[in-house]
A and B are shown apart, each in its own frame.
Chain A
């Protein structure tokens, strides 16, 4: 049983990483959530939003949300398998392509691909924002926290960690949920 969870994790995380074009892990959050919550029932949507927040607030690449999904699904083995599976295919691709980059960079197709996937990535990140907020905002005060963080991050160039830290402190007081 656990072996099959690890296989599923490995396959899903590799596929997701290869589809993370133009906006990093945030573009594949809708699919990761669909797999983890709806398809495989490893957790509920609220837990997924919590884990996503922990990954945002931790040092290192934000893609480590896959590490936490693996941890919840299959313990520490799951965390390591998910992380390695999410890194291996894209790292191999970078390893191979980096030698040819000067030639690819000059090709007109490069600009077309980059321009073409940008709005798709923006739409997918908007979907991530909606799904994460929907499952996180289960009290009126939490909706206010989401809106305040969005405004803070959109209108100022400050580190988002200030907003996350302020929210965490507010949450510790027990006033918001």
Chain B
């Protein structure tokens, strides 16, 4: 076990776990992690702040969406595999139903008149959101270690964005370089 479970009177049942993560998922417009913290730490007091930070570090380290990993790690800690499944289905059930509904509406009506304009503008805006995400991720890396960060960032952009290499090939080239540079400059 990664750390001690919460005191007994605060340990949620499987159903409460399901509901807690369902609440996170439907609140989580534009990023689930702030809501996960608000609900798990501040409102329901299932986790201590340090505990949340440690679990978050695990979820950021592993591949896959952080919030999905968190449902598994946290559910597993409280109730083993049943807890992991309860938290996972709580997190995913409503969003999957909502997104399939929206997707079907888009595929059926998305090309009609003003809706077409709406989706065009929404897509342009979502592109801008990812431009900002990329810039926010790149800025601190470039400030901290410009000599190593810039070539790798540019390399990823050119190989995946311009040359359209398959992702495994991009990773095979860039990940070892990134790891070697990080190993040499470790503190």
Do A and B share a complex? yes
Q: Which residues of A contact B (CB under 8 A)?
A: 15-26, 28-31, 34, 38, 46, 49-64, 67-68, 71-72, 76, 79-80, 83, 87, 89-91, 93-95, 97-99, 101-102, 104-105, 108, 110-133, 135-139, 142-143, 145-154, 159-161, 163-164, 166-177
A157 CB, min distance to chain B CBs, angstroms = 11
Identify the interface centre among A20, A34, A83, A94: most chain B CB within 10 Å of its CB.
A94
A33 to B62, CA, bound (A): 23
| Cα–Cα, bound, A93→B98 (Å) | 27
Interface size (B, Cβ < 8 Å)? 101
Docked Cα-Cα span, A97 to B141, in Å, equals 28
By beta carbon, the residue of chain B nearest A21 is B63
Q: Is the CB of A128 within 8 A of B167?
A: no
- The B contact surface, by secondary structure, is helix
Instruction: Return the contact of B131 from the options A57, A59, A150 (Cβ within 8 A).
Output: A150
Q: A98-B58, A171-B119 are in contact. Are A93 and B183 (CB under 8 A)?
A: no
8 closest residue pairs by CB, A with B: A123-B156, A60-B95, A90-B64, A171-B121, A149-B128, A127-B161, A167-B125, A133-B127
Q: How far is the CB of B122 from chain A (nearest CB, A)?
A: 4
Given contacts A128-B130, A161-B29, whether A50 and B122 have CB atoms under 8 Å apart is yes
* Neighbour of B186 across the interface among A23, A51, A89, A112, CB < 8 A: A112
Q: Name 13 A/B residue pairs within 8 A (Cβ), A-sorted.
A: A18-B63, A31-B160, A54-B103, A60-B95, A71-B107, A90-B63, A115-B186, A119-B149, A159-B30, A163-B125, A169-B118, A173-B117, A177-B117
Given contacts A118-B141, A132-B130, A163-B125, contact A51 B178 (CB under 8 A): no
Give the contact stretch, choosing among B7-15, B38-46, B169-177: B169-177
Contacts of B25 in A (CB 8 A): 59-61
Task: Report A136 CB to chain B, min CB distance, Å.
Answer: 4
Question: Which chain A positions have C-beta within 8 A of B99?
Answer: 54-55, 58, 60, 64, 67-68
Output the nearest chain B residue to A111 by Cβ-Cβ distance: B186
Chain A positions within 8 Å of B138 at CB level: 119, 122, 126
> A residues within 8 A CB of B133?
23, 26, 125, 129, 153
B residues near A124, Cβ cutoff 8 Å: 156-157, 160, 167, 170
